């Protein structure tokens, strides 16, 4: 890792380096995407109760937040290939530790996994922010994450690995090791390219940057909170859990493939109109999936939501990076993780308090925050605001 300077970078980021960073970052995202399956496997394969197994989520989340927020505070600006390889090995070691006897070994292993995942997510977001076209880079990164997450969920259901924690760990360890190996072969740190003419942005943190990060945080509170309970709500409305889970996995793969394709054919940058359309589609998809009573409607609204939300997220992250990649790039991962950590418990509280309808309205409204931020802060007119 480096602080003031970037060691071992190439003169300009090449596409293969971004692909490598995307794969490494995707591997760091898989434990989070597969957390419901992990908890199921722990309960099925150990003596842990569902309540106790739920502490795995807390341990991993604390580890993720510690590294994704701690690295920017330490002024780390890049992660070298050597450190990326070492952290990848540490992640695998954490998985092995979690399979040892004893509850504290289980929690300690997943805390270590969380620390490594937060660092790998930091690597992915910094690499995308430093790329010459950050909006396309973030789109590619998210697409790779979704394809791998959806494929992994489907393969676990086919193999039945969730029935035994030991079997699940072996399968999961081999899968994530393969992704990390390819990613590390392709990866190299990407030096920052400033995308703004705002003189203040070159010198340090600005109100425009802070507003963008706050908008991204609130966006993730609303949208991740909404989607976290989509399967729960579907089952409550009478749908079959297995069918809903397969629909969820298929939507991740489909939206991921769309994003990977979009990263190759879309024009660089983003526009207020494009973000406005995506915001409206996120709102429609989110509201529809929260009310769908049949599996075909749930699938339709889910895939609309997944494509639109992840496209909007990529555009938002790219726009934030455009205000000053050196400054904002290292804060994006921690901001989004904090939002993702806040949304589900807030939605859960709303359900318990009989305020689920109000939370859905809140989530729908947050879909329009990115375009409000861009208009108010004049992101299309650097040097203003």
Q: What is the pLDDT of residue 4?
A: 40
**CA-wise closest residue to 328 among 220, 215, 188, 218:** 215
Q: What is the pLDDT of residues 361-382, one digit of tens each?
A: 999 999 999 999 888 876 544 4
Q: What is the pLDDT of residue 10?
A: 42
Residue 384 has pLDDT above 50, yes or no: no
Q: What is the pLDDT of residue 135?
A: 66
- Selected from 3.40.605.10, 3.50.50.60, 1.20.1250.20, 1.10.10.10, the CATH number assigned to the domain covering 199-377 reads 1.20.1250.20
Tell me: pLDDT of 119 over 90.
yes
CB–CB of 320/209 below 8 Å?
yes
Please give the residue that has the higher pLDDT: either 39 or 225: 225
DSSP string, 110-122: HHHHHHHHHHHHH
pLDDT digits (tens, 9 = 90+) for 120-176: 988 988 887 777 676 677 777 777 877 887 777 777 767 776 667 888 888 888 889
55-77 exposure pattern, b = at least 16 Cβ within 10 A, e = fewer: bbbebbbbbbbbbbbebbeeebb
pLDDT tens digits, one per residue of 340-356: 878 878 888 887 888 88
- Mean pLDDT is lowest, of 35-39, 174-178, 238-242, 348-352, for 238-242
Q: Among the CATH numbers 1.20.1250.20, 2.60.120.380, 3.10.450.710, 3.40.1440.60, which is that of 15-186?
A: 1.20.1250.20
Numbered ranges of CATH 1.20.1250.20 in the chain: 15-186, 199-377
């Amino acid at each position: 890792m480096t602080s003031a300077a970037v060691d071992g970078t190439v003169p300009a980021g090449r596409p293969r380096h971004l692909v490598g960073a995307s794969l490494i970052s995707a591997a760091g995202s898989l434990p989070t995407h597969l957390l419901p399956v992990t908890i199921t496997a722990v309960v099925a394969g150990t003596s842990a109760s569902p309540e106790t197994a739920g502490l795995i989520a807390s341990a991993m989340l604390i580890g993720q937040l510690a590294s994704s927020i701690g690295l920017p505070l330490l002024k780390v600006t890049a992660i070298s290939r050597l450190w990326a390889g070492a952290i990848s090995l540490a992640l695998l070691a954490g998985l092995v530790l979690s399979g040892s006897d004893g509850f504290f070994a289980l929690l300690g292993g997943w805390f270590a996994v969380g620390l490594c995942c937060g660092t790998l997510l930091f690597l992915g977001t910094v690499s995308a922010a430093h790329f010459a076209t950050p909006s396309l880079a973030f789109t590619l990164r998210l697409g790779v994450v979704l394809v791998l997450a959806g494929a992994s969920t489907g393969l676990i259901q086919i193999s039945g690995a969730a029935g035994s924690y030991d079997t699940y760990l072996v399968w999961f360890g081999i899968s994530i090791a393969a992704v990390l190996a390819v990613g590390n072969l392709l990866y190299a740190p990407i030096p920052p390219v400033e995308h703004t003419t705002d003189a203040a942005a070159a010198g340090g943190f600005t109100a425009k940057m802070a507003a963008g990060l706050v908008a991204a945080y609130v966006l993730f509170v609303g949208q991740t909170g909404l989607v976290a309970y989509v399967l729960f709500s579907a089952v409550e409305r009478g749908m079959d859990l297995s069918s809903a889970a397969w629909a969820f996995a298929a939507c991740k793969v489909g939206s991921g493939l769309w994003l990977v394709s979009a990263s190759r054919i879309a024009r660089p940058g983003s526009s207020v109109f494009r973000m406005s359309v995506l915001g409206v589609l996120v709102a429609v998809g989110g509201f529809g999936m929260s009310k769908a009573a049949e599996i075909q409607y749930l699938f339709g609204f889910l895939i609309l939501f997944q494509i639109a939300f992840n496209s909007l997220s990529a555009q938002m992250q790219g726009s934030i990076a455009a205000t000053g990649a050196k400054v904002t790039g290292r804060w994006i991962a921690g901001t989004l993780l904090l939002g993702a950590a806040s949304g589900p418990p807030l939605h859960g509280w709303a359900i318990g308090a009989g305020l689920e309808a109000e939370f859905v309205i809140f989530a729908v409204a947050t879909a329009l925050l990115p375009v409000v931020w861009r208009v108010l802060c004049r992101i299309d007119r650097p040097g203003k605001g």
